[in-house]
Structure 1
Amino acid sequence: MVTVLAHGLGGSNDLPIPYTYALIGGAWALTFTFAVVVLAWKTSRFDTGRPGRPLPSWVTTVVDAPAVRWTAAVAGLLLAAWVALAAVFGPQNGDNALPGVFYVLMWVGLVAVSLAVGPVWRAVSPVRTVYRLLPWSRRRPPATYPERLGYWPAAFGLFAFVWLELASPDPGSLPAVQTWLSVYVVLTLAGALAFGTRWTARADPFEVYGVVASRLSPLRRNPDGRIAIGNPFDHLPSLPVRPGTVAVLAVLLGSTAFDSFSAMPQWRNYVDGLAGPSLAITVLVRSVGLLVFASVVATTFWLAARATGGVDARRRRELPGLMAHSLIPIVIGYVFAHYLTYLLERGQVAVLRLLDPLDRGWFGLTPGVQADYFLSSHPSVLATLKVCFVVGGHIAGVFAAHDRALRLLPRGHQVTGQLAMMLVMVGYTFTGLYLLFGG
């Protein structure tokens, strides 16, 4: 019988090489990569205006067909209704399908699908579909969305999600998930009625998360509107630079790091010793820890992006947002390193429970059906994949940051202006590997 650890994290004993070597090797790999690109990469090679290779015209025609768009939208709405059926009438215990859909398919699966084909949440979002179906949305012109808000509502929404998962008293309980989703639907729909679809594009945490992940997708739109395939690094810098962009990425990266940290015995013993039997203090300490991790990521990246010479005050203020896309590969790499088994193994359970939401043996499924825990039963393979995801994500981040620096920084500061960012990324790599395996 396979013992599945929380999120499939594993430990340092699972590594096929000594733990210390993995930490040092990851940091040196990043440092060596930076040295190579500085010496051999003298001009910018990534261009958001470079068109990709167009797919056959019928692909764009089919994807943009109103019938296809509405079919996807209605399918998303029906799936949401199916999940609601499971939540209300399904088993009111750990066998309910809702938590698996919420934490696995909506949170981790969304990253994988968006990375493969683009920002799919925009097409299947139930709230968007309900808004489009309401007569009021067509009669009443929406108000103008305040540009100063940018992505800040989405950043707060993402923090609310990770708080529920990592700091709340009982994240797996049905009432907690139901309450969170109810508030999400009400706020998102109310915002859409007030500001139109611009609200969902800027404030819906799942839509913004999908947009972030889709920037590393090989699929994109050419300027003429045709769907094309091309270099993901050309697409990566197209992440919109708005207020709150760095905050969104800091929440995503910091929360994943805190998830690993919170599994370490030292942290658990500290929380237990500080809070004792008080649940309120436990939640408060976890909440502060989560906020600290997100704040540290945001602060270190903000300082590193601004730590360059040769630019005026206006450009210096813009640099964190203009460099923020370089965090996306790091976020994606750490998400897959951290949640890979969660997605592939718990994802099977979530789908099976969704097929039989009332646990009555529908489609020939037997109650309590089990998934195939292949990765958890091969810990050395899993550990190797985790190291590759973390290091690979950081190397890709170095590529993105270096190429952007060549475009943004004066020639005399293109190397020295990146040193602070390089040190921060080495710190992220070392810390990420330590948190993944240190427990």
Structure 2
Amino acid sequence: MTTQLLAHGLGGSTDLPIPVTYALIGAAWALTFTFAVVALAWRSPRFDPERPGRALPRRVTAVVDAPATRWVLAVVSLLLTGWVAMAAFLGPQTADNPLPGVFYVLLWVGLVAVSLLFGPVWRVISPVRALHRVLGRRSFGVTYPQAFGYWPAAAGLFAFVWLELASPDPGSVPAIRIWLLVYVVVTLAGALCCGTRWCARADPFEVYSTVASRLSPMRRNADGRIAVGNPFDHLVALPVRPGIVAVLSVLLGSTAFDSFSATPQWRSFTDRVTDSADGATLLRTAGLLLFAVVVAVSFTLAARCTGGVDAQRRRELPGLLAHSLIPIVVGYVFAHYLTYLVERGQQTIVRLADPLGRGWNVLGLADNDVSYVLSMHPAVVATLKVGFVVAGHIAGVIAAHDRALALLPRAHQVTGQLAMMLVMVGYTFTGLYLLFGG
């Protein structure tokens, strides 16, 4: 049993497929709720990005923003980065190395969970920002081009998911090491040229953290104070910049492709049409790109499918509605990678206690056993997976409905939403089907 669970924790799609009954129930709820919102919900916007949250005591903001706090976090970030780098360069170049777990679990999935709880944490724990601070925040004064928007971050996120889902050996320590070296060099060079604006718009992990944090109750008011408020008010405040739809399409499309690539049909097709590792890599790359493009095209067309608006507003609608994809992305991430985070995350932390494989026992962690609590209860996992997908769908529909009321003319506020709602139902049905079949 242990061998099976360990093997299960090394792949991309680690949770067991959900039973068909759960999928059908979840799909029925999603469909019913969608059309109930369109037909019966409120008829005027309720979410306001300018509405302040309930401010926490001033000392909380003072402590968080204190230079000493930022320096401590920068030093801790660099120390942890050095610890992981030691494992990457000097540790065993096998599956026992903690680097793949840090990269694919703690960074990719754990960052979403932490950002949901505390806000855009990558801004304060990023090793690139820490290096930039140590270097005295030097900058060559180059202005970050507005037209770039989030496109560099979208490219970086695609590079990440390509390594995980399409590369010949995603668990290879040297491959991950090279990817991270390129990431640090490119991001640090951009920060030195354009300042921290590069980090905020081009760093894939910072943009990823910022996107997830839009569902966090934690935010800052206009006066800079840390506050707690309605996540839907925060969600609608997502900055609309070029490339934001591409970022969300990569995130949603790649997670869907991860489930799809685990199906027997895809594996059989890959074996049948390719006869080499390079051919399989090209096919997986094409599939990954296709999933991202389908999400981007379907969402863009649905957002623009309304009457009563001029050409300029029609072009703006996909960006103005892009925030409604965030709950769907987050819900699918947790539905897809929950067991991965809980169980492989434990394994990674234990391995980090002995990064060189020399019998170290930092903080007494090396003696801990991994608890496979979720894998031992598949019914609980199935329920949680359906719950995350449906909850993400419901939150996305609510966000899209409220924003449409603010953007569309009154005569088109219902009909103008139908295409978007149908597309969101399609995303949810597809997600449940892939989780059922994967």
TM-score by length of structure 1 reads 0.95
Distance in 2 of aligned mates of 1:368 and 1:91: 19
| Matching residue's letter, 2:142 | A
Conservation of the 8 A alpha-carbon contact between 1:356 and 1:365: no
Conservation of the 8 A alpha-carbon contact between 2:190 and 2:198: yes
**In the alignment, which residue of structure 1 is the partner of 2:35?**
35
* TM-fit CA distance, 1:224: 1.2
| 1:81-110 CA distance string (max 9 Å, x none) | 010111122222111111111110111000
Distance in 1 of aligned mates of 2:365 and 2:71: 34
**In the alignment, which residue of structure 2 is the partner of 1:10?**
16
SS at match of 1:168: coil
Once the two structures are superposed, the pairs formed by residues 216-365 of structure 1 within 5 Å of their partners are: 216-276=215-275, 278-359=276-357, 360-363=359-362
Matched, 1:412 2:411: yes
**In the alignment, which residue of structure 1 is the partner of 2:77?**
76
| Matching residue's letter, 1:304 | A
Structure 1 stretch 245-254 or stretch 182-191: which is displaced more? 182-191
SS at match of 1:8: coil
**In the alignment, which residue of structure 1 is the partner of 2:93?**
92
**In the alignment, which residue of structure 1 is the partner of 2:52?**
51
| 1:283-334 CA distance string (max 9 Å, x none) | 0000000000000000000000000000000000000000000000000000
Distance in 1 of aligned mates of 2:162 and 2:179: 11
| 1:329-383 CA distance string (max 9 Å, x none) | 0000000000001001000011111122122132375879641110011001000
Conservation of the 8 A alpha-carbon contact between 2:353 and 2:360: no
Structure 1 stretch 298-307 or stretch 32-41: which is displaced more? 32-41
Distance in 2 of aligned mates of 1:323 and 1:436: 26
| 1:377-413 CA distance string (max 9 Å, x none) | 1001000000000011001000000000000000000
SS at match of 2:219: strand
Structure 1 stretch 2-11 or stretch 371-380: which is displaced more? 2-11
SS at match of 1:238: coil
**Percent of aligned pairs sharing the same letter:** 67
Distance 1:292-1:57 versus aligned 2 partners, 3 A rule: same
**In the alignment, which residue of structure 2 is the partner of 1:117?**
118
| Matching residue's letter, 2:170 | P
Conservation of the 8 A alpha-carbon contact between 2:350 and 2:365: no
**In the alignment, which residue of structure 2 is the partner of 1:172?**
171
Distance in 1 of aligned mates of 2:24 and 2:371: 34
Conservation of the 8 A alpha-carbon contact between 2:327 and 2:395: yes
* TM-fit CA distance, 1:134: 1.8
CA RMSD of aligned residues (A): 1.4
Distance in 1 of aligned mates of 2:405 and 2:268: 47
| 1:100-153 CA distance string (max 9 Å, x none) | 111101110000000100011110111111122225x43x54211000010000
Distance in 1 of aligned mates of 2:292 and 2:46: 31
Distance in 2 of aligned mates of 1:22 and 1:409: 36
**In the alignment, which residue of structure 1 is the partner of 2:204?**
205
Structure 1 stretch 347-356 or stretch 213-222: which is displaced more? 347-356
Which residues of structure 2 form unaligned runs of 5+? none
Distance in 2 of aligned mates of 1:367 and 1:151: 40
| 1:48-85 CA distance string (max 9 Å, x none) | 11111111111111111110111111111110001011
| 1:165-215 CA distance string (max 9 Å, x none) | 000000101110001001101111111111111111111000000000000
Conservation of the 8 A alpha-carbon contact between 2:45 and 2:406: yes
Distance in 1 of aligned mates of 2:64 and 2:362: 31
Conservation of the 8 A alpha-carbon contact between 1:8 and 1:376: no
| Matching residue's letter, 1:341 | T
Conservation of the 8 A alpha-carbon contact between 2:22 and 2:383: no
Conservation of the 8 A alpha-carbon contact between 2:326 and 2:396: yes
SS at match of 1:241: coil
| Matching residue's letter, 1:100 | G
Distance in 2 of aligned mates of 1:334 and 1:307: 25
Distance in 2 of aligned mates of 1:193 and 1:361: 37
Distance in 2 of aligned mates of 1:22 and 1:353: 35
Structure 1 stretch 49-58 or stretch 329-338: which is displaced more? 49-58
Matched, 1:129 2:130: yes
| Matching residue's letter, 1:75 | V
Structure 1 stretch 28-37 or stretch 423-432: which is displaced more? 28-37
Conservation of the 8 A alpha-carbon contact between 2:361 and 2:367: no
SS at match of 2:227: strand
SS at match of 2:208: helix
| Matching residue's letter, 1:113 | V
Distance in 1 of aligned mates of 2:16 and 2:416: 38
Matched, 1:422 2:421: yes
| Matching residue's letter, 2:31 | T
The size of the alignment, in residue pairs, is 430
| Matching residue's letter, 2:102 | V
| Matching residue's letter, 1:47 | D
Structure 1 stretch 284-293 or stretch 24-33: which is displaced more? 24-33
Conservation of the 8 A alpha-carbon contact between 1:86 and 1:98: yes
Conservation of the 8 A alpha-carbon contact between 1:394 and 1:429: yes
Conservation of the 8 A alpha-carbon contact between 1:167 and 1:283: yes
Distance in 2 of aligned mates of 1:156 and 1:185: 15
Distance in 2 of aligned mates of 1:227 and 1:363: 34
